[in-house]
Every structure is written in C-alpha cells, then in structure tokens.
C-alpha cells in the first residue's frame, strides 16, 4: 500500500453494470491486479471529456461556463481484496430552482450500456478511511449513513469483516432510506449481518414507508445514543446529504439560515454525546 496515495490514471473495463435500486447503479471495473492498491473508503475520479458521446455537451458547457469541465469523484463500493474495482452512482437530476446546468456524466454512467466499455479514471484518494491502529483507538465503529451515503461504508465494512481485520472492534451500521426498495446493497448487508453477528449490527430506518420488520421514522439523537456503547471508545463515520453551495448562496441573499441536513444534524448529535471531534469523520453529497 505504500503507493496508494499516488493519484494516477488507470484504465478499466466494465465487466458488470448492476442496478442496485430504482435510481442507483454499480459499475464493476476489471483492472490490473497491481492497480487495485487502494484503501477501503477511498474514491476514484472520472473525466467526462474522454467519452465521445459527451464531447458536444462538454464543449457547450465549457463555452457557457467560461471554464473547463472538472473531473467527477465517486466513492468506491469495493474493498481492496475483491477482484474488481466498483463504484456506485446515483444520477444527479436537474433542478431549475438551483441548477444553471444539467448534469450529464452521472446519468451517462448509470446505465446497462456501460457493460463492456473501457475508460480511464484517476485513483485513488480520500481520507474517509479507518486508522491503521483501529483497535488501539476504538472498541466500536458506528456507521451512520443516508441513501447513497452507504457506498464508502460498505467498502469499509467488507474490508474489516471479510478480511477479519481488527477482530475486537464491533461495527454498527445505521442505514437511513426512504423506502425498502431504496436500500442499496440490501441483500449483501443482510448476508454480512448473518455471517458476522458478533462483529456487525445492522439497523435500518425507513422514513417514507411502513414495512413489517422495519422501523419507520427519521433518525433521532436517541437512536444514535442507543447504539453508541462508549463515547470515549467509538469512532463515528457518517455519510449523507449536507447543506449545498446553492443553499449557502441563497442564505446570503435572503439572510435566512439554511436548515441543517443529515451531516449537520449528525455533527450536532456527536457533540451532544460528548464524542471528540477527532473521533468523527464524515463525507457529504449535495
């Protein structure tokens, strides 16, 4: 892993394009074994300029924006021991209320037609990783995720459980979704919970559906407090929505403070529990 921090171009071929939920897809990329030297929880980046189908859109948006199109980052769902590099995409949707331009790369990638396609990505980077000395720092890791925020935590869980890393550390995943059909990796998570009952606790919450065997309702401070065994020996890894740049811009114009979203709310809860900020790591999406 000594060169895992070196960001470099890597070419891969899509061997599988799997629809996880009605609005998420996972692409599995075959790369050289020597190119799989990443850390669980990291992400890869993709430039839209390499796809001929998008060339005119890229040219148009660069003209309208007056700047070059940037690469896009995607959290990896795979763990380093797995034979393919995989990442999961929830296509962005155009919202005229706060978007000046329509998204075009994520809707393009989230498709069964990507199977067999070869493309280049930049890998690997990202600080959303577990510490090397995890057992010294913690007895428990609480993964608190919403929707597609499950992606990097799925990578972390597989790496720790399947590879039997840090066996004294217990993992708790609190997975928040709108409905049962929206749960990404639903079957795989259930399998992990059944296979590693002493090391992994799986907690689901559905916010917009009542379903037998599942608790309906939004996440609460009491829910987190219930599952944190010892605030001084826990690490909390949270991934979900956060206040967007548009919301911050709108707040400046109106003078109204934007309502906290998932990450802001969870951050406040960890403070209330007395969890040191060094024990809290988060990633967000808009």
Neighbouring CB atoms inside 10 A of 196's CB total 19
The phi and psi torsions of 17 (rounded to 5 degrees) equal -125, 105
250 HSE (CA, 13 A, CB side): 11
Residue 250's pLDDT is: 66
Closest CA to 199 of 239, 169, 219, 165: 169
Residue 2's pLDDT is: 39
Q: Show pLDDT as tens, one digit a residue, over the chain (286 residues).
A: 434 457 999 999 999 999 999 999 999 999 999 999 999 999 999 999 999 999 999 999 999 999 999 999 999 999 999 999 999 999 987 777 767 888 999 999 999 999 999 999 999 999 999 999 999 999 999 999 999 999 999 999 999 999 999 999 999 999 999 999 999 999 999 999 999 999 999 999 999 999 998 999 999 999 999 999 999 999 999 999 987 777 766 667 777 788 889 999 999 999 999 999 999 999 987 5
Q: Which residues fall within 8 angstroms of residue 179, CB to CB, at 6 or more apart?
A: 206, 208, 209, 211
Q: What is the pTM of this model?
A: 0.94
Query: Would you say 206 and 179 are in contact if contact means Cβ atoms under 8 Å apart?
Result: yes
Q: Take residue 50 and report the two structure tokens written for it.
A: 């390499």
Residue 248's pLDDT is: 66
Angle, in degrees to the nearest 10, between helices 150-162 and 186-195: 30
Neighbouring CB atoms inside 10 A of 2's CB total 6
Which domains, from first to last, does the chain contain?
Answer: 8-125 (2.40.30.10), 134-285 (3.40.50.80)
């Amino acid at each position: 892993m000594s060169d895992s921090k070196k960001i470099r171009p890597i070419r891969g071929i899509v061997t599988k394009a799997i629809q996880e939920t009605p609005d998420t897809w996972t692409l599995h990329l075959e790369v050289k074994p020597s190119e799989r030297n990443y850390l669980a929880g990291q992400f890869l980046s993709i430039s839209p300029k390499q796809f001929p189908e998008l060339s005119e859109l890229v040219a148009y948006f660069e003209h309208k924006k007056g700047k070059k199109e940037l690469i896009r980052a995607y959290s990896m769902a795979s763990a380093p021991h797995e034979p393919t590099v995989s990442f999961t995409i929830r296509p962005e949707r155009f919202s005229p209320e706060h978007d000046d331009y329509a998204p075009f790369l994520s809707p393009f990638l989230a498709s069964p037609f990507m199977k067999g396609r070869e493309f280049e990505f930049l890998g690997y980077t990202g600080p959303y990783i577990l510490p090397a000395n995890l057992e010294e720092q913690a007895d428990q890791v609480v993964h608190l995720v919403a929707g597609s925020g499950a992606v990097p935590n799925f990578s972390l869980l597989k790496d720790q459980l399947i590879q039997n890393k840090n066996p004294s550390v217990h993992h708790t995943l609190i997975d928040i979704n709108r409905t049962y059909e929206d749960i990404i990796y639903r079957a795989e998570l259930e399998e992990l919970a059944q296979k590693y009952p002493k090391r992994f606790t799986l907690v689901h919450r559905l916010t917009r559906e009542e379903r037998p065997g599942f608790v309906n309702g939004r996440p609460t401070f009491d829910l987190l407090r219930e599952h944190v065994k010892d605030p001084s020996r826990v690490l909390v890894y949270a991934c979900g929505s956060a206040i967007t740049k548009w919301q911050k811009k709108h707040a400046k114009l109106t003078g109204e403070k934007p309502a906290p979203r998932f990450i802001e709310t969870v951050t406040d809860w960890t403070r209330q529990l007395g969890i040191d900020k060094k024990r809290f790591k988060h990633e967000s999406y808009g």
